[in-house]
Structure 1
Amino acid sequence: MLCFTGAPTAVGSADPLPIPQNDPFYIPPSGWESQAPGTILNSRPVEVASMGPQAQDAEAWQLLYRTTDNAGQPITTVTTVLRPRTGQVKGLISYQSAEDSSSPQCAPSFTLRQGAVPMDHKYDASLDFIEIGQMLSSGHAISVPDWEGANSALFTPNQPGYTALDGVRAAEAFAPLSLSGTDTPVAAYGYSGGSWGSAWIAQVQPTYAPEVRLVGVARGGGAFGAAEPLDMYMKSLDGGPFSGFLLSLLPGTMRADPRIAAAFDTYLTPAGKALMAAGGAQCSVPDVEQHAFVHMDDYLTIPFSQVLEQLHASFDEIDGITTPTVPLFFYHAVDDEIVHIGPVDQTVAGWCATGAAPVTYTRDELSEHPSLEVAAIPAALRWIDDRLAGQPAPDGCSIRTVPSMSLGGA
């Protein structure tokens, strides 16, 4: 579900960019609430960083647009859109990054920009730079939404799909991208936390944005659904080497759901509230680095498991991702150290049993969680290329175990 790659590596400049909280671009104009979902409220050209000292070789802009939260209320967010400088754009990929944080300065609209200065609280965008570069070389336009929304609401139902799909609507309406409006074929792509956002795109698209021509979803590092519930996942993190992820995830989850917020406000000790405030103010990398082997029981007046048990209604909604209805390319590491494969295999088996949509599932034996994101890029993008080119996905359900997707196994 989550991605951890090490110290921040984004390339900076002498003049640091303002973080979203201090950037007037993120402030919508008066009357924005009455606009239709996906309406562009502001735009600006930007440069997107790469793994080297130069920016990505692409034309890029940011679009502020109106979207919708889980309660159906209007909110705003930003997508970073890119296209190759030359050539015909083949289609549009909505790429959901693994932000995994409850802090606005960890959103891709900030972390991807050339000139964003590495900070202790900053997200490591290295893998995003790699994947964006590969998508551009395939000739696609890209939308990279701040899919948590301006309120940095992390694990919440529906809203991730709404924000990403409205980013697609904004991209399709943005003339410089040279897309074909609603005739544009669209694929969703994301790994780890980005897999969560991509799953919700497929979940809500038929009813929320039926005009979007979604042709497939490629995602990995977390299946989600009844066999992989979020509360069970949180229990598995608690007290372990990746327990710091809880401090990145829970503040945004509480922000998204008043019921969850009320429960934790009741049972967190003063030290627990301070710990959550600190974790929610920085990105996942420093949270994991600084808070390994944290036991939530030490910061609550009742056991962590009992708090989660009181929130079944909320977590049932969060775990509401059902069988995909569009072609799915899915992949997971057999020895994933962060998201164990057992519930993932069970979830995929449930998808396959329904036969609702074609599913291609690859189990990778040699990778672990972060390395699979890179190893799977060629296979995932080949699959996306075919879908955007109009080739139908292979029928039925295919499950393969390969030594490594980096060796050509798909």
Structure 2
Amino acid sequence: MRFVKALLAVAVTGLLGCSLVTGPPAGAEPADSNGAPAPFQQWIDDTVPAPTLTAPLWQQVLSTPTGDPIFDARPTDLDALRPGQIIEVRDVTATTAAIMPTPLRGATLVKFRSTSAEGTPTFGTATLIVPAGEWSGPGARPVEVNALPINSLGLHCTPGYQFSHGILDQPNTQLAVFMPSIWSALGKGHAVLVPDHEGPLMAYAEPNIAGHVMLDSVRAVRNQPSGEFADSRFVAIGYSGGAIASYAAAMLLDEYAPELAGVLTGAAAGGLVTDYRDVAHRFNGNIASGIMLSVTLAIAREHPELLPYTNHVAQWLATSGLRDICGDADGPLGAVGLPMEAAARIDHPLDSPIAEQMYRLLDLTTRKSAVPLYIYHGLHDPWIPLEDAQRMYAQQCGKGVPGIFRIVPGEHLIGYVTGYPGLDAWLDGRLRDEAPPNECPPAPR
């Protein structure tokens, strides 16, 4: 039964995954310029009837509500609020302290106004954790904005839900692997801000919503009535799925939150995806397909105009409980190796004109980072191409961004561990107002 569920999960995410890279406006038929279905794709829709839906498909592929309004309820007055304006706060010290080895002064879950990937008002959540120990460094207590790799489709999988409801409620065991980075920061007297960077629609790996939520979480903490962190220095950190969020915050700061220039002092990203076209083709139909397929379903939630490209099987599965899986479930799904072509209503979905349009939307490499960068990558990472990160780093160096690039021992998971020692010192420097080191090659004369 577990294997069957895994197979279905791959199917749903893959089929909807095709919708990530292929799609017209919501409710429309696929455009002719994107091609016709292959015979086997037509056979799928001729054989499998469309599901009976009680609401628009986009609504029914979203994660099941948690039952907690702070995560589920969309405020009716978002248009009247400023990005980063606080909507609600909740003390979550008791449940958060239970998983922290360092004594806490407090932990607060914050709900705030943010902006969707397509520019419309939405909301975000984040957890601010403050250690009991005093900060002995210069200036106000600094804040590490830690984008944990949520890598999930279900709302209950977020750090905010886990910290506020307890890790034994509906656990996302993947988060536990990355908790030491929080413990280390708290032990130094840093506050830690943990955004639920996939947004309220759980759009895993969509960089625009991730960057907006990251930056709005900083705005919210700085705008707290106490004013405690109004003069603090912030630095962003993330690995894998979290790296997308920290990197996006750096790339989007100038255009989305220019007042945070000088407040966010750096961004570190390890195991980072920068080229979605390359990753889509590399992951298609092989052992990495489970992650790719989960990502593409998630991104379709922020881009509902893509859903008409899903076939009937995709729609059946996407509206099932599979839309709520946590990050520790998507990796093993790749054992099935379902290709995208088995999912879409057009042939060659990864190479269609609409696919190119989507790749451009998700590509932030043409922008200039507003802050110094620390990029690191496992030498033998089989999932995320090393050369993509190297190319992005070279581009940012060419734009005059101070940066460091480290190739560290190991594959994707080991690279997180082996990359931390050098990263730790770099983070401390950004929070102590030290001049950022720059290892970019000199510009040619």
Match of 1:221 in 2: 271
Task: Give, in angstroms, the shift of residue 318 of structure 1.
Answer: 0.7
Distance 1:314 1:143, change over 3 A: same
| 1:127–1:374 CA contact under 8 A, matched in 2 | no
CA distance in 2, matches of 1:313, 1:140: 41
| 87-96 vs 270-279, greater mean Cα deviation | 270-279
Identity percentage over the alignment? 24
CA distance in 1, matches of 2:99, 2:190: 23
Match of 1:3 in 2: none
The structure showing larger relative contact order (alpha-carbon pairs under 8 Å, at least 6 residues apart) is: 2
Distance 1:325 1:160, change over 3 A: same
TM-score scaled to structure 2, two decimals?
0.75
Distance 1:388 1:20, change over 3 A: farther
Tell me which of 292, 295, 302 is aligned to 1:249: 295
Task: Give, in angstroms, the shift of residue 282 of structure 1.
Answer: 0.8
Query: Tell me, which stretches of 5 or more residues in structure 1 are unaligned?
Result: 1-18, 400-410
Q: In the TM superposition, what are the counterparts of 1:395-406 in structure 2 within 5 Å?
A: 395-397=438-440
Query: Tell me, which stretches of 5 or more residues in structure 2 are unaligned?
Result: 1-63
| 1:154–1:253 CA contact under 8 A, matched in 2 | yes
CA distance in 1, matches of 2:190, 2:227: 10
Tell me which of 1, 23, 39 is aligned to 2:85: 39
CA distance in 1, matches of 2:196, 2:233: 21
| 1:46–1:113 CA contact under 8 A, matched in 2 | yes
The Cα offsets for residues 303-330 of structure 1, whole Å up to 9 and x where unpaired, read as 4545655321122011133342321111
Name the SS of the counterpart of 2:425 in structure 1: helix
1:356 paired with 2:406, answer no
Larger radius of gyration: 2
| 1:51–1:129 CA contact under 8 A, matched in 2 | no
Name the SS of the counterpart of 1:22 in structure 2: coil
Match of 2:234 in 1: 186
Q: In the TM superposition, what are the counterparts of 1:74-223 in structure 2 within 5 Å?
A: 74-88=121-135, 90-113=141-164, 115-117=166-168, 119=170, 122=172, 124-175=174-225, 178-179=228-229, 181=230, 183-212=231-260, 213-222=263-272
| 1:247–1:275 CA contact under 8 A, matched in 2 | no
TM-score scaled to structure 1, two decimals?
0.81
Tell me which of 330, 340, 344 is aligned to 1:287: 330
The Cα offsets for residues 132-166 of structure 1, whole Å up to 9 and x where unpaired, read as 11111122112111112112223435322211111
Distance 1:309 1:28, change over 3 A: closer
The Cα offsets for residues 168-205 of structure 1, whole Å up to 9 and x where unpaired, read as 011112256822x1x32111110111111111111121
| 2:265–2:372 CA contact under 8 A, matched in 1 | yes
| 1:260–1:311 CA contact under 8 A, matched in 2 | no
| 1:50–1:130 CA contact under 8 A, matched in 2 | no
Name the SS of the counterpart of 1:310 in structure 2: helix
How many aligned positions are there? 368
Structure holding more helix per residue:
2
Distance 1:235 1:29, change over 3 A: closer
| 334-343 vs 316-325, greater mean Cα deviation | 316-325
Match of 2:340 in 1: 296
Tell me which of 335, 339, 346 is aligned to 2:391: 346
Task: Tell me the amino acid that sits aligned with residue 247 of structure 1.
Answer: L
CA distance in 2, matches of 1:150, 1:37: 15
Task: Give, in angstroms, the shift of residue 377 of structure 1.
Answer: 2.5
Name the SS of the counterpart of 2:125 in structure 1: strand
